[in-house]
Amino acid sequence: MQYMLQLTFRPGEAPEEGTPEYDADMQRWHALNEELKAAGHYLGASGLQFEAATTVRKDGDEVVVTDGPFAETKEVLFSFYLVDVPDLDAAIAIAAKTPAAAYGAVDIRPLVRLELA
């Protein structure tokens, strides 16, 4: 089963870049990445520029474009993983290993395969 793990945090609650806590966090991220690759669960991941978001909505025929996060929230979406694991319990176990689980949240979504003709 494939899942997207959406990683969020509240600004000011994550370790600050340049600190020993940040460096330790980066080591944990690297270890998790290597573990997922070795197990064959890693499909992809990327950091996101959370300050640079654009939201598009339609109101009838009018296209409304808003700069900023996709929804009003105190947490920002900063990264994601795509994983292929046997079940939701395995995805939860991965989410629990992320440093983000300690200072933010990990939202797990099953992927639905779309066949494009």
Q: Are 7 and 81 in contact (CB under 8 A)?
A: yes
Measure the CA–CA gap between 93 and 3, rounded to whole angstroms: 12
In this structure, what are the phi and psi dihedrals at residue 96, rounded to the nearest 5 degrees?
A: -65, -25
Indicate the pTM of the whole model.
0.82
| Mean pLDDT in residue range 40-44 | 95
Question: What is the DSSP code string of 27-90?
Answer: HHHHHHHHHHHHHT-EEEEEE--TT--EEEEEETTEEEEEES-SS--SSEEEEEEEEE-SSHHH
72 against 41, higher pLDDT: 41
Q: Work out the angle between the directed axes of helices 20-39 and 88-97 (0-180°, nearest 10).
A: 150
Residue corresponding to tokens 């950091």: 47
Q: How far does CA 72 lie from the centroid of its chain?
A: 17
Residue 34 has pLDDT above 80, yes or no: yes
Confidence of residue 55 (pLDDT cuts 50, 70, 90): confident
- pLDDT tens per residue, range 56-114: 888 889 998 887 655 566 778 889 999 999 999 999 999 999 998 988 889 999 998 77
Domain assignments of the chain as residue spans, ordered by start: 2-110
CATH 3.90.870.10 fits 2-110, yes or no: no
The confidence band for 115, taking pLDDT boundaries of 50, 70 and 90, is confident
